[in-house]
């Protein structure tokens, strides 16, 4: 019985690998006249070592499985936990035996028990929430509590950079928290019949903050750091009337905002000189930019399907690739796309020809 189970699992892995090889090696997709997608490797996560020494690590988390691999396809560490793990390239978080959560180094050393609920990583920093959904706890890389900050009401939007945390609340308040846990700004965008913050994005430098706010009418508001405060540097009304969390993301030197809309992903230049659409259905999305090629990569998630869209900012589409149905995680570094599921990880590179 055990042998036949093992055979079945091996068969499933081989089939997955075969499908990926066929998909990307035999059917390479032409992206544009000068950009094409090439598959570099696919490796199984089933036979990975418990803990191997190695250099630069790329984190993955897919369902219950999590671990690290390298850019050349060496798997460092794979483990399993029923609820999965929160993971960054330097550490990961698992439920602890005491009922809370513990922070581990990427090498598997337990560093600290974290206070609060549902700890997670954002911009490489570890945070946790509170039972009432109003407080953010921030931890250093060793898991020591740096600060706790209570927002005026429950958080409906959250984002962080290496220097700034921004929360948006159900009553329409935006508050920024500096590295030392003090308030960086507090702002009520208003301008709509009903106040609420539905999405927020912090630029990598922390100098700009974008938010989707309000209902009747919905607004996109961008704040910029000026002196010691944050002020509105641009805004626009939207046709949408979402009442659920929406994704926002900064792109390319903080010049563009990507935002969810009914007919695709909107691209808006914060200086007002660009208002375009990437026509790809996306309930949620993530975006990465490769300055070497001046190409951005959008991963559009819609109804369980993932589509990878390469485009030249602001919105010239170079090509699209539909990722396999079973894709559970995607990580884009430069023009390399790492993706996979609980059993396989693959690398796909976009190259200029």
Partner 1 sequence: MKRPILLVPAVFILVMGLVAFEWPVDPSSLRFNFGFSGGSFKRGSELGVPDAVISAPADGDLVFACDAPRLPGGYPLPDGSLAAISHDSGMMSIYTGIQPGSLSSYMGAVRTGDPIGVAPQAVSGRFVSFYVYDSREKRFVNPFILLPKMGDDKPPVIRSITFRSGKDEIQLDRGVSVRQGAWLLVIDASDMSPMGLPSAPFELRVVIDGSERFHTVYDAAWASSGESHLFSAQAVPEKDFFLADGRAGFGPVSLTRGTMMLTVIVTDFSGNKREVTYSIQVQ
The smaller minimum CB distance to partner 1, of residues 138 and 341, is found at 138
The smaller minimum CB distance to partner 1, of residues 119 and 340, is found at 119
- What minimum distance in Å lies between the beta carbon of 182 and partner 1? 7
What is the chain's alpha carbon radius of gyration, rounded to the nearest angstrom? 21
Q: Which residues make up the interface to partner 1 (CB under 8 A)?
A: 86, 117-118, 120-122, 127-134, 136, 147-160, 167, 170-173, 175, 177, 181-183, 186, 194-196, 198-200, 215, 243-247, 284
CA dihedral 34, 36, 40, 42 (to 10 degrees): 160
- What minimum distance in Å lies between the beta carbon of 136 and partner 1? 7
Tell me the sheet residues that pair with 327. none
- What minimum distance in Å lies between the beta carbon of 240 and partner 1? 13
Of the candidates 187, 182, 186, 227, the residue with the CA atom closest to the CA atom of residue 207? 227
Query: Residue 300 corresponds to which tokens in the numbers above?
Result: 């559009």
Query: Residue 211 corresponds to which tokens in the numbers above?
Result: 């938010």
- What minimum distance in Å lies between the beta carbon of 170 and partner 1? 4
The smaller minimum CB distance to partner 1, of residues 167 and 340, is found at 167
The smaller minimum CB distance to partner 1, of residues 37 and 197, is found at 197
3-state helix, strand and coil shares in percent for the chain, rounded to the nearest 5 = 5, 55, 40
Query: Residue 104 corresponds to which tokens in the numbers above?
Result: 């581990």
44 in Cβ contact with 22 (< 8 Å): no
The smaller minimum CB distance to partner 1, of residues 131 and 304, is found at 131
φ, ψ for residue 251 (rounded to 5)? Answer: -140, 140
The smaller minimum CB distance to partner 1, of residues 215 and 328, is found at 215
- What minimum distance in Å lies between the beta carbon of 139 and partner 1? 13
The smaller minimum CB distance to partner 1, of residues 159 and 254, is found at 159
Q: Exposure pattern of 74-93 as b/e (b: 16+ CB <10 Å)?
A: ebbbbbeeeebbbbbeebbb
- What minimum distance in Å lies between the beta carbon of 72 and partner 1? 29
The smaller minimum CB distance to partner 1, of residues 5 and 304, is found at 304
CA-CA distance, 212 to 210, in Å (whole number)? Answer: 7
CA-CA distance, 198 to 196, in Å (whole number)? Answer: 6
What single DSSP character describes residue 233? E
- What minimum distance in Å lies between the beta carbon of 244 and partner 1? 5
CA-CA distance, 278 to 164, in Å (whole number)? Answer: 29
The smaller minimum CB distance to partner 1, of residues 149 and 339, is found at 149
DSSP string, 270-287: TTSS-EEEE----SEEEE
Neighbours of 351 (CB within 10 A): 14
The smaller minimum CB distance to partner 1, of residues 199 and 324, is found at 199
Query: Residue 312 corresponds to which tokens in the numbers above?
Result: 């030249």
- What minimum distance in Å lies between the beta carbon of 15 and partner 1? 31
How buried is residue 62: exposed, middle or buried, by Cβ count under 10 Å (0-12/13-18/19+)?
buried
For the sheet containing 275-278, what is the strand order?
Answer: 248-251, 256-261, 264-269, 275-278
- What minimum distance in Å lies between the beta carbon of 329 and partner 1? 14
- What minimum distance in Å lies between the beta carbon of 298 and partner 1? 15
CA-CA distance, 353 to 351, in Å (whole number)? Answer: 6
């Amino acid at each position: 019985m055990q042998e036949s189970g093992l055979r079945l699992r091996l068969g499933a892995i081989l089939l997955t690998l075969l499908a990926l090889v066929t998909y990307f090696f035999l059917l390479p997709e032409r992206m544009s006249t000068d950009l094409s997608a090439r598959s570099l490797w696919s490796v199984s996560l089933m036979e990975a070592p418990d803990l191997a020494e190695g250099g630069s690590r790329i984190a993955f988390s897919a369902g219950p499985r999590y671990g690290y691999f390298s850019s050349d396809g060496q798997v460092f560490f794979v483990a399993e936990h029923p609820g999965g793990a929160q993971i960054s390239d330097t550490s990961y978080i698992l439920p602890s035996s005491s009922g809370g959560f513990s922070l581990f180094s990427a090498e598997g050393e337990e560093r600290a028990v974290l206070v609060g609920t549902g700890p997670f990583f954002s911009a490489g920093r570890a945070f946790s929430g509170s039972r009432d959904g109003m407080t953010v706890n921030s931890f250093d890389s060793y898991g020591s509590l740096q600060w706790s900050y209570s927002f005026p009401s429950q958080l409906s939007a959250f984002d962080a950079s290496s220097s700034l945390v921004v929360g948006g609340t159900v009553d329409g308040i935006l508050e920024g928290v500096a590295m030392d846990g003090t308030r960086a700004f507090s702002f009520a965008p208003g301008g709509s019949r009903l106040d609420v913050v539905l999405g927020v994005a912090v630029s990598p430098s922390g100098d700009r903050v974008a938010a989707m706010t309000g209902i009747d009418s919905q607004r996109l508001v961008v704040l910029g750091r000026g002196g010691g405060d944050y002020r509105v540097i641009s805004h626009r009304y939207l046709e949408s009337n979402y009442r659920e969390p929406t994704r926002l993301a900064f792109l390319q030197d903080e010049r563009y905002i990507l935002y969810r809309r009914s007919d695709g992903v909107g691209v808006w230049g914060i200086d007002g000189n660009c208002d375009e659409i990437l026509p790809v259905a996306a309930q949620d999305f993530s975006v990465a930019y490769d300055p070497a090629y001046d190409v951005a990569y959008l991963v559009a998630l819609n109804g369980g399907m993932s589509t990878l869209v390469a485009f030249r900012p602001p919105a010239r589409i170079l090509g699209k690739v539909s990722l396999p149905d079973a894709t559970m995680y995607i990580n884009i570094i430069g023009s390399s796309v790492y993706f996979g599921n609980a059993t396989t990880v693959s690398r796909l590179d976009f190259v200029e020809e």
